[in-house]
Structure 1
């Protein structure tokens, strides 16, 4: 059999994979905070038809004579560049202007600090399934818990004991100069009422500043802290594993998540995560012009690989006809 036919087959396979990736990118051009992917190829091991020879007394050197055996998939990379910001005006929409990721969890509600953070890494999640996302289109359930579209609870810090062990919130003066986040990640809530010195006070409205601090306006005009949205980052964010639903899971090559410290921390590391922008969402980073260009090139490469197989078939047919 001709080696060119098998090279053509390998070319069709990898270009089909690239078309799959391009198609997925185009399909998700409107997906919130979607990160596009690219496909890379590499050549297969070449077969030696002649070895290289060094120069001798009477002859000069000879280069190696090699025949390539086709192409193979080198990798599918996630492009973690930031997408454009889209204003929504919705107070539960958050966008990250930087490299941070929101932290969400599935499992029993954590109000007592059961999800521990040790040296800026997650110590013990107590069986909770923690994932990461750039999609900040959050909502609330009937208990006031801050959740994603799929019901994952958004994690954050209690500030000054604002979130009590039973999940209730108490008044914490937002104008205090000594605000400090408590240890451990907790489920964030935006309640209807908080406890102010034994008296229930209604929350009229709330806002989220660029540090993730959630401030509620109480009836009477006082401002309280309801918590702080947590973020994390990775040494290699391209190594995160996509889980669907705009969610990611850390892998062996992404590294463990480095959790952003809360307000008032002594070992503050919050400068490398970016700002949270309320009332905005991050758009997909897919460039349609680039994707359609890649689609044209990949389609032609697929057709050319198929033509190589057809040409090899014609050569084989001519060889068979020599006996007639």
Structure 2
């Protein structure tokens, strides 16, 4: 009975993590570029009670007797399916169709990656800079921030679906630069941080530049659109009910084990 108490407790702990993850998905249902997360489970060690078992007539069975010791959360995995595309009409909103990620420079100087294409022009030290809503510079294919002349007419900046930007310099000559898009062999291995920024890890692999890797299927950038989250409210609510019921069943198991222990304690010789 003590074993049943601890086994049910592991189920409650795991389902609590499941509920927390679903809650986070629902909280980010309107977050641009958010990718839903799902919890994966693994069973704990099994305890062998008898290596051999027999029938009532003494005939040996081909299996022993093992009992499980519960469950644990093995991973929380992000699902990088395409989110819904929402038209905004803003000139510096970009939605990625494909597997690509924007490269940005974070506050500590490191490189981050995001699917959130809500950009704008920010005043930098050298001119107008294409930046995220948090002020992080958007990088080009060389890894440098995309900077325009301070006096540039924003209407003269042309951006195509491959991320190529054409704009006139101070002398009226046309200059061009390309927004950097990268892909990963295992995007689920990316580390999530704040502000919809992802960081590469050994699990995700090194970033592969779409402009340099001919083996990659190129992504398409849609100007005037944003990619919404891929969270489906109905599915999340169903998953929440299932997790709640599983939590409740484990709670009732603990109650039943407690009542059995109480009866055992009340037994008299």
Q: Secondary structure of the residue that 2:156 maps to in structure 1?
A: strand
Q: Secondary structure of the residue that 1:244 maps to in structure 2?
A: coil
Kept in 2: contact 1:204–1:216 (CA 8 A): no
Task: Verify: 1:305 aligned to 2:226, yes or no.
Answer: no
The 1:322–1:43 alpha-carbon spacing in structure 2 relative to 1, beyond 3 Å, is same
The aligned runs of 1:86-235 (5 Å cut-off) are: 86-106=86-106, 128-142=109-123, 143-157=127-141, 184-193=142-151, 204-216=155-167, 224-235=174-185
Kept in 1: contact 2:184–2:208 (CA 8 A): yes
Kept in 2: contact 1:138–1:148 (CA 8 A): yes
Post-superposition offset of 1:223: 8.0
Matched residues in 2 for 1:82 and 1:223: separation?
Answer: 38
Post-superposition offset of 1:259: 1.5
Post-superposition offset of 1:145: 0.5
Q: How many pairs are equivalent?
A: 262
Q: Secondary structure of the residue that 1:19 maps to in structure 2?
A: helix
Post-superposition offset of 1:100: 0.5
Matched residues in 2 for 1:24 and 1:16: separation?
Answer: 12
Kept in 2: contact 1:212–1:229 (CA 8 A): yes
Kept in 2: contact 1:15–1:299 (CA 8 A): yes
Q: Which residue of 2 aligns with 1:122?
A: none
Matched residues in 2 for 1:274 and 1:73: separation?
Answer: 34
Q: Secondary structure of the residue that 2:193 maps to in structure 1?
A: strand
Post-superposition offset of 1:270: 7.7
Kept in 1: contact 2:168–2:175 (CA 8 A): no
Q: Secondary structure of the residue that 1:186 maps to in structure 2?
A: coil
Point out where structure 2 has 5 or more consecutive residues left out of the alignment.
none
Post-superposition offset of 1:28: 0.2
Q: Which residue of 2 aligns with 1:79?
A: 79
Post-superposition offset of 1:102: 0.3
> Deviation digits for residues 216-275 of structure 1, max 9, x if unmatched?
3689xx8833411011111100000001101000011001111222xxxxx662852311
Matched residues in 2 for 1:305 and 1:297: separation?
Answer: 12
The 1:283–1:223 alpha-carbon spacing in structure 2 relative to 1, beyond 3 Å, is farther
Q: Which residue of 2 aligns with 1:113?
A: none
Post-superposition offset of 1:45: 1.0
Q: Which residue of 2 aligns with 1:114?
A: none
Kept in 2: contact 1:231–1:260 (CA 8 A): yes
The 1:81–1:270 alpha-carbon spacing in structure 2 relative to 1, beyond 3 Å, is same
Post-superposition offset of 1:62: 2.2
Q: Secondary structure of the residue that 2:138 maps to in structure 1?
A: strand
Q: Structure 1 stretches (4+) deviating beyond 6 angstroms?
A: none
Q: Which residue of 1 aligns with 2:12?
A: 12
**RMSD after superposition:** 2.4
Matched residues in 1 for 2:145 and 2:169: separation?
Answer: 21
Q: Which residue of 1 aligns with 2:186?
A: 236
Matched residues in 2 for 1:45 and 1:268: separation?
Answer: 44
Larger Rg, first or second structure (1 or 2): 1
Point out where structure 1 has 5 or more consecutive residues left out of the alignment.
108-126, 158-183, 195-201, 262-266
Q: Secondary structure of the residue that 2:17 maps to in structure 1?
A: helix
The 1:204–1:134 alpha-carbon spacing in structure 2 relative to 1, beyond 3 Å, is closer
Q: Secondary structure of the residue that 1:155 maps to in structure 2?
A: coil
Task: Verify: 1:292 aligned to 2:237, yes or no.
Answer: yes
Post-superposition offset of 1:59: 5.9
